[in-house]
Amino acid sequence: MPKRDYLGLRAALADRMLPVLVAAMSFLAALALAGALASATLAATWESQAASALTIQVPQPDQPDPTGRTTRLAAVLAALQATPGIASPKVLDAATEDALLTPWLGAGASELGLQLPGVISAAWTGAGTPDTLATALANISPGTLVDIGAVWAARVAALTNSLLDCAVAVLLIVALVAAAVVAVAARAGLAQRRETIAIVHGLGALDGDIANRFAFRATVLAVGGSVLGTVLALPVLAWLAALAAPFSGQAASSALMALPMPLWFAMPALPIAAAGIGWVTAQLTVRGWLRNLP
Amino acid sequence: MVRFEDVWLRYQNAARPGEPALDVLRGVSFEIPDGGFRWPTGPSGAGKSSLLKLIYLAEHPAKGLIEILGTKAAKISRRESALLRRRIGVVYQDFRLLPQLSAYDNVALPMRLAHRSETQIHADVTEILRWVGLEQKLLVRPDELSGGEQQRIAIARAVVARPKLFVADEPTGNLDDDQAHRLMLLITALNRLGTTVVVATHNMALVERYPAPRLRIEAGRLLPNA
């Protein structure tokens, strides 16, 4: 291969260390990328679900409403059914209430003789937040509380955004470490081929000729390593996705199908990013080194 | 044309940075016209090799003006410097062949760097290797060749791209009389075709057999010709 490899880079930039290190970097990057995408997906899902949830507590639910024609609970339910933007209002049955209170009051809370409020769950489908709803319901049933999910949605958003930032930070760190690995490999190759490069430089090779050869070799090795690392990450990611399926609320027929669709589109970006890092880092390293030659 | 005007070359001992720098060339001035031939001569350590390094752009002068093939060396970019080197054929004292390449590929290297076609490279490289008597060793690597054969490969590499300036440092050091004579025939033929030639040597018999002006150097200074 003398025509293509007169610098002897097949030996100087060997196909062992660099690809293995880049494979490890890509493996970590794939995990971080999956974490970032999972955080973003969960953020979107949880935020929409939490923001639309309404919980209405009606104290003394069996007492008559101000009109005296029905109970407070029924009156509030009817008012909710008649309010635009409120969907699926539903009174929680005693068993469900018992289950919700079990952590605080133990099993059979309804049998303790406590005055428990009636609880209605609903979804808010209107724009903004139902600010006037609490006042309207309090007129029908004094003391009625409306718990809007937007507060929880904001907390969920903060959590998931924090997770997303962490994942992006990990990706950046992995990219920087990968660049450092390529730079060290390129410098080792330069040290090994110092004499050869000096000769070729003396014969009239442009800095770009030499840098391009190093960069091409580094890019090939980086892409090879990155493909290996990304492929090796797939079964691990599938396993993690299968473990997280109950948590994310998504069931899948197979482990690989458990991976979110955006991840399948994002994974090929890793070898492309590795190629970019390999090419740019090798170019900068070699051109900087060549400045030492006259 | 090669022109030196009050050129100084200074080496700093990297191992002893506190020591004063050593001036290996001191105020050297001369001019070689296009197609000229010069013999830099002088004792070992006089500064012949340093003079040649400045000519083939392997060193920067500490002071003074150097003009190579009509180009002022101090005022050119790295790219222009590389392109200028392609017009200079150099035979180094230690040959400086690439050990991982065959004789053929070593000789072909300057032409490949200049992006010549493989057809032209094949024709020119096989021709020049025949001229230096190594047509049977095209695929042999330098470490399998004798010192004289390596030197002939180095000479072939220096002349294959038909340089405008040919610079050689003791090119006949490892050659027998017959090979040295063949080499000088090649160099004088190049010179007749218009190539400027600068050959540093200890071999005064060679200088007398192929008469040309001398650049006599002693202790870094150029002596006036007698």
ipTM of the complex: 0.89
Please say if the pLDDT value at position A124 is more than 70. yes
- B17 within some domain: no
A64 DSSP 8-state letter = B
Tell me the pTM: 0.75
B164 touches chain A (CB under 8 A): no
- B175 within some domain: yes
pLDDT band at B175 (very low <50, low <70, confident <90, very high): confident
Domain harbouring B157, CATH code: 3.40.50.300
Write out chain A residues lying below 8 Å of B100, CB-based: 2, 6, 8, 11, 196
Please say if the pLDDT value at position A2 is more than 60. no
Q: What is the DSSP string of A71-129?
A: BHHHHHHHHHHHSTTEEEEEEPPHHHHHHHHHHHH-S-GGGGT--PPEEEEEEE-SSS-
Domain count, chain B: 1
Residues A244-262 pLDDT 10s: 766 665 555 565 666 778 8
Please say if the pLDDT value at position A4 is more than 70. no
Q: What is the pLDDT of residue A102?
A: 78
Q: Read off the tokens for B71.
A: 């180009």
- B18 within some domain: no
- B54 within some domain: yes
Q: What is the pLDDT of residue A246?
A: 66
Q: What is the pLDDT of residue A253?
A: 58
Chain A nearest CA to B88, separation (Å): 8
- B131 within some domain: yes
Q: How far is CA A154 from CA A49, A126, A142, A177, A201, in A?
A: 12, 18, 28, 34, 61
B69 touches chain A (CB under 8 A): no
Q: Read off the tokens for A219.
A: 């890019």
B66 touches chain A (CB under 8 A): no
- B6 within some domain: no
Please say if the pLDDT value at position A110 is more than 90. no
**Candidate ranges A91-105, A150-164, A244-258, B32-46; pick with highest mean pLDDT:** B32-46
- B150 within some domain: yes
- B41 within some domain: yes
Write out chain A residues lying below 8 Å of B81, CB-based: 294
Closest CA to A207 of B101, B151, B78, B57: B78
Please say if the pLDDT value at position A166 is more than 70. yes
Give residue B130's domain range. 34-58+77-216
C-alpha span between B182 and B180 (Å, rounded): 5
Write out chain B residues lying below 8 Å of A195, CB-based: 96
B94 touches chain A (CB under 8 A): no
